Each structure stands twice: as C-alpha cells, then as structure tokens.
A and B are shown apart, each in its own frame.
Chain A
Amino acid sequence: MHLTTEKQFVDFYDKHADAIFRFCYFRIYERELAKELSQESFCRLWGMVAEGQDITYPKAVLYRIARNLVIDYVRRKKEASLEEIQEVSGDSVFKDSKSEHIDDAIDVSAVLQKLREKNEELSEPLELKYLQGLQVKEIAKILNLSPNVVSVRIHRAIKILKGMYDN
C-alpha cells in the first residue's frame, strides 16, 4: 500500500493508531508518553512521504520508526526494574480480565520480560509476531533482517521461553 495522499495517510492512521500505541505502551508503560511517541511516529512517516520517499511497506516503516523512538527513550531513561514493570503492567494491562487469566498472563509476561532483558534480539521478533500480530515478512522489514533469520529467531525464542517458563 502506497501513501501518497492525505486521505490515504489518515485512513492508515485510523487503522494502525491503536496498534502502534500498544506497541509503544507495552515497552515504556507510560500512557502519555506512548501517545506522544505514537503521534511522533506518524508525523515522521508523513515527513518521509512529504520528502518524496517511495515507501512500499508503510506499516513496517511505521513500526521501525516507533521502535527507534522507544529505543531512544529507553536509552535515555534509566532502566526500570523488572518488579516495577510487572507491578505497572499487572495493574494496568490485566485489570478487566478474569483472575485465572491474569495469573497466567502475569507469569508469561514475567518470563517474556526476562527474555527481553536477557536477549532482546530473540524476544523482539517473537513479540512482534505474537503480541503485535505481524507477519514474518513485515518483521523482517522492521528489523532489517531476512525473513529466514526472523523465523529462526522466533523459533529459538520459543524454545528458550518454554525452558524459562517450565523452570
């Protein structure tokens, strides 16, 4: 899908605003900031369109921009401890869900968080695939890798995650 007109861009925003917001939010856990980074991502994407760049995969480019913004932000800020993140995410993310689902989700969420801290290279493609629902082809574009490498990393991430979860 090419973004060339204002209408196409606004339709694109309507379609992906929530997803990109979630993508930012579940990495920085600050709602206002996540909103800001999401908006900045769309603005930068439009900036590229306005410069005349031919963007074949706008969704992948949008995620790549958001990812870079989040990385910049996280680098600036001292890393929050795992406990803090669990506390925040547990409160805000799973508040309306059934209790057994919450326990389950918090367990997996903690393991995912550990993997993220231990090996982001593996956790990132996995999260993009299963949490963001992106296709391998799209993830490859976002991370600037080949689809093959992405699949291998997802496979390895699942294997490690299983081990961590069982323990």
Chain B
Amino acid sequence: MIIRKIRKIAKLQQAEKLSVAEKLAMRSALLDFVRTTPGVRNQPTGRLISLRGLINNLRETKFMPIALIIALFIAVSGGTSLAAENSVPGDLLYPVKISVNEKIRSAVNFSDESKVEWEIDKVARRLEEAEKLKVKNRLDVTISETVKNDISIQTKTASQLAEKFQDSEKSFSANSRLEAVLRGHAQILLALSEKDDGAAEIILDVLDDTKAISESRVEAEGEISAKAEADFEIAAKNKMKAAENKIAEVKKIVDKNSFLSEPVAARLSAQLNSALSVYNEGKAELDLKQYNQAFITFQEALRLAQEAQIIVHGAKQLDIDWQGKINASKNDSNRKNDQNDDAKKSQDKAVIEEKFPVHIDALIDAANRINTRTKTEIKAPDADDSDRGDAEDKDTDRERSRSEAETNAEVESDLIDIEVENELTL
C-alpha cells in the first residue's frame, strides 16, 4: 500500500518538467560546451542533432514558434559557431565567438555564483587565446595590444563581480580561483616566451592583475579571520572536500600523463605535494576547531591544485615545445639506470625552479628579464643607452597600462550593464 502511495507521488512529480524553451536553451548551451570540449572519439557534425524528433516534440506546444526560431538559428549557425569557438583575435570568426557563443553561454548562467564562474572562465579563454597566438607566432604589436586589453577588461569584470558578493566567503573563493587562473596562465605564457619576448608585455600585465587580486584575497582572509568560528564550520568542511577532490583529480591526470615533459611533470607533482601539505595543515586546524583558518588554508590548497590543473591543461592543449622535450626525456630515461635517475632529478629540480618560478615576484622578475633581454637584443649596438631606454620604456608602458586600466574600468562597467541588459532580453 505504501509503495502504491509512493508511486502516486512519482506520478505527480512527473508533472514537473522543463519547459520546451528551457530544454532548448539548456540543449544549446550543452551543445556549445560539447563542441568546445570535443571528445577523443567525437567527430563534431556541426549541425543540429535530432531535429526531426525535436520538432515532433514541439508540435503540440505553444512554444512551437519560439522554439523553431531558436532551433533554426542553431541549425544555421551551428557550424559557424563551432568553427568560431577555436578562433583567436584577428580571425574572421572571432566576433562570432565573442558576440554569439559567449552571449548564449552567459544567458544560461542563472545564479550569481555561476555568473562569476563564467566571467572567470572567460578570463581563462582570453588567456588561452593569447597562448594560441603565441604558439602560432601571431602576436604582433597590434594583436598583442588588443589581447592585453581584452584580458585586462575581462579580469576586471570578473574581479568586480566577485567583489560584489555580499558573502565574503563566496567573494574570497571566486577571487582565489581567478588568481589561480591568472597565475597558471602566466606560467604557461612564460614557458612559451622562453625563446623570445612575444608575450612579455601581456605577462607583466597579467602579473600586475594577479598581484592586485592576491592583495584583495589577503584582505578577504583578514575579514574571514575576524568572523565567528562557528559560522565557518560547514564551509571549512566543504572546502576541505573540494580541495581533496581537486588534488586527487589533478594528481590522477599528472600520474597517467604521457604528454608532459619530465621537468613539467615533476614541477606539477611538487606543486601537488605543496597543495597536499597545505591541505594537511588545514586538517590540523580543523581538528583544533579553528574553522576560519582551516577554511582559508583549504582554499589555498584548492588554489594550488587549480593552478596545477591549468598548467596540465595548457600543456595538453597547446602543442608546444614541452611535447618535444618529453620524447627526448623519455628516450634519455630509457638509457639511464637508477643511480643516474637521482642525479637527473636534482638537475631537473634546478631546471624546474628556473623555468617555473612559483612566487609572484619571481614570476614578475622572469617576465621582466624576458622583456629586457629582447629589448637589449634589438638595441644591442649601444648597450648603456639601451638599459636606460628599457627603464624608460618600461615606465612609459606601466604608465600607459595604468591609464588604460582606468579607461578600462569605465568601459568595463558599461560592459556589465550591456551584458545584464542582454541577459534580460534573452
């Protein structure tokens, strides 16, 4: 009898379903996601799937006209939209990526948290574009300037949205992820700029932003520390779980990778070990019921793991020099015995520290070195003048980017308004 009653509930629950418009919007966003994350065995078709089935489902509903317009739009623009996803600034389809694909994805983020998450994803997308351009050797002065501005505007949009959270916990978490994105990508760009400057200006800008965001994070940490411990008990435990999952997830990828060079893999393992030791600190704080501090510490562990994940992803997506180095390292290691391995490990460690500085100031120094080196090479005949010139150039550049930042802040606040309007319209 009780089972019959439960089945009745199930029947009543069946009435609760997605409307056709909701289903279509989700479907479209999902398709967009599928196409930006193509599977290893996936052969994207670039056209709407199951159109006939979909129309049959829609036939009886009042949403038929709206749904058909959306379906038609997807059917017509599907291929273009797919192609646009891989475009970079300077490509013909790049405006489609920005004005169509990203707007659609913005429209299906419903909560404030997911909106901020998406804005942070967009920062990552801008940085990935810079990396792709660098790999393709297409970062000329004009494009470099555009890319730098785009990254800067997007970073400020994401950071300001994160600041708008009333809840300091959410704001802190969002800023922390943004910091991880910036730091991770700055390291990839640095690795890509080993041979020439190319992206040095962009990196310096990104690191400036990273430093600012890192400072607001430290401020937020202070605010959180000042709050009542009991308020953070659940939050700290959840953050612990999140950090644990992220570390495990990245560790799994690093462990089974076949695309990372040994130094990069070792660097990532070292970073994951740091994340793990920070995580253990958090656990000790949790045991002592210092919930605020534990929350902050787990967030740090999560950030370290997120940063490592970005580097892994970058190494996988970009067919950069690392790939070549892997093969060389693998061949080498096949020939070496265990004793030699120890020597190689310490040699690797030195290479890692040189190539992948972790601290923000070390990153800035590295970017400055690349920037200065290239300018010195260009003005090589008069070295003294060149040094002075470099300093002046750098000062001018920093001033210019500061004034741009001010303009960007104004433009950016307009952009948020436009985006909100667009979402309401959609």
B26: nearest chain-A partner, CB-CB: A39
Question: Interface segment, B11-19, B140-148, B380-388, B412-420?
Answer: B11-19
Q: Mark A133-157, 1 if CB is under 8 A from B, else 0.
A: 1000000000000000000000000
Do residues A46 and B33 form an inter-chain contact, with CB atoms below 8 A?
yes
Interface positions, chain B 263-322, Cβ under 8 Å from A, are none
Interface positions, chain B 84-122, Cβ under 8 Å from A, are 108-111, 114
Residues on the B chain within 8 Å of A101, using CB: 8, 12
Which 3 residue pairs of A and B lie closest in terms of their CB atoms, listed nearest first? A10-B49, A32-B110, A50-B39
Residues on the A chain within 8 Å of B37, using CB: 46-47, 50
| 9 A–B pairs (Cβ distance < 8 Å), ordered by A | A33-B111, A35-B18, A35-B26, A35-B110, A39-B29, A43-B33, A75-B241, A112-B6, A126-B6
In the assembled complex, B7 has its CB within 8 A of some CB on chain A: yes
Given A26-B13, A33-B110, A50-B39; A158-B2 close (CB under 8 Å): yes
> What is the bound-complex CA distance between A11 and B311, given in angstroms?
34
Contact of B6 among A22, A96, A108 (CB under 8 A): A108
Contact of B16 among A25, A52, A108 (CB under 8 A): A25
In the assembled complex, B40 has its CB within 8 A of some CB on chain A: yes
In the assembled complex, A85 has its CB within 8 A of some CB on chain B: no
A9: nearest chain-B partner, CB-CB: B34
In the assembled complex, B50 has its CB within 8 A of some CB on chain A: yes
A106: nearest chain-B partner, CB-CB: B9
> How many residue pairs, one in A and one in B, have C-beta atoms under 8 Å apart?
145
Residues on the A chain within 8 Å of B17, using CB: 18, 21-22
In the assembled complex, A14 has its CB within 8 A of some CB on chain B: yes
B40: nearest chain-A partner, CB-CB: A52
In the assembled complex, B164 has its CB within 8 A of some CB on chain A: no
Report which B residues bind A (CB closer than 8 A). 2-3, 5-10, 12-18, 22-23, 26-27, 29-31, 33-35, 37-45, 49-50, 53-54, 108-111, 114, 234-235, 237-238, 241-242
In the assembled complex, A93 has its CB within 8 A of some CB on chain B: yes
> What is the bound-complex CA distance between A49 and B257, given in angstroms?
17
Q: Mark A116-135, 1 if CB is under 8 A from B, else 0.
A: 00000000001000111100
Residues on the B chain within 8 Å of A132, using CB: 10
Residues on the B chain within 8 Å of A78, using CB: 234
Place the interface of chain A in its size category: 35 or more
Contact of A6 among B15, B34, B111 (CB under 8 A): B34
Report which A residues bind B (CB closer than 8 A). 4-7, 9-11, 13-14, 17-18, 21-22, 25-26, 32-33, 35-36, 38-39, 42-43, 46-47, 49-52, 72, 75-76, 78, 92-94, 96-97, 101, 104-105, 107-109, 112, 126, 130-133, 158, 161-162, 165
Residues on the A chain within 8 Å of B40, using CB: 50-52
A92: nearest chain-B partner, CB-CB: B16
Known: A7-B45, A93-B13. 16 other contacts (CB 8 A): A6-B44, A7-B49, A9-B34, A18-B17, A21-B16, A22-B14, A25-B16, A35-B22, A39-B108, A52-B40, A52-B41, A72-B242, A75-B237, A105-B5, A131-B6, A162-B2
Contact of B3 among A10, A13, A18, A158 (CB under 8 A): A158
Contact of A46 among B27, B34, B234 (CB under 8 A): B34
Residues on the B chain within 8 Å of A47, using CB: 37
Contact of B45 among A6, A25, A158, A161 (CB under 8 A): A6
Contact of B238 among A46, A72, A109 (CB under 8 A): A72
> What is the bound-complex CA distance between A130 and B8, given in angstroms?
10
> What is the bound-complex CA distance between A131 and B6, given in angstroms?
7
Contact of B49 among A6, A72, A97 (CB under 8 A): A6
Residues on the A chain within 8 Å of B111, using CB: 32-33, 36
B170: nearest chain-A partner, CB-CB: A76
A3: nearest chain-B partner, CB-CB: B39
Given A17-B26, A105-B9, A108-B8; A5-B41 close (CB under 8 Å): yes
Q: Tell me the minimal C-beta distance from A16 to chain B in angstroms.
A: 11
> What is the bound-complex CA distance between A165 and B4, given in angstroms?
13
Do residues B5 and A108 form an inter-chain contact, with CB atoms below 8 A?
yes
Do residues A105 and B44 form an inter-chain contact, with CB atoms below 8 A?
no
- Choose among B14, B39, B44 the residue with the greatest number of A CB atoms under 10 Å from its CB: B39
B22: nearest chain-A partner, CB-CB: A35
Do residues A6 and B9 form an inter-chain contact, with CB atoms below 8 A?
no
Given A14-B53, A21-B17, A92-B16; A130-B6 close (CB under 8 Å): yes
Contact of A76 among B14, B38, B41, B238 (CB under 8 A): B238
Do residues B110 and A130 form an inter-chain contact, with CB atoms below 8 A?
no
Q: Tell me the minimal C-beta distance from B275 to chain A in angstroms.
A: 20
Q: Tell me the minimal C-beta distance from A104 to chain B in angstroms.
A: 6
Do residues A112 and B9 form an inter-chain contact, with CB atoms below 8 A?
yes
> What is the bound-complex CA distance between A51 and B316, given in angstroms?
11
Contact of A131 among B9, B50, B110, B237 (CB under 8 A): B9
Do residues B13 and A131 form an inter-chain contact, with CB atoms below 8 A?
yes
Q: Tell me the minimal C-beta distance from B409 to chain A in angstroms.
A: 30
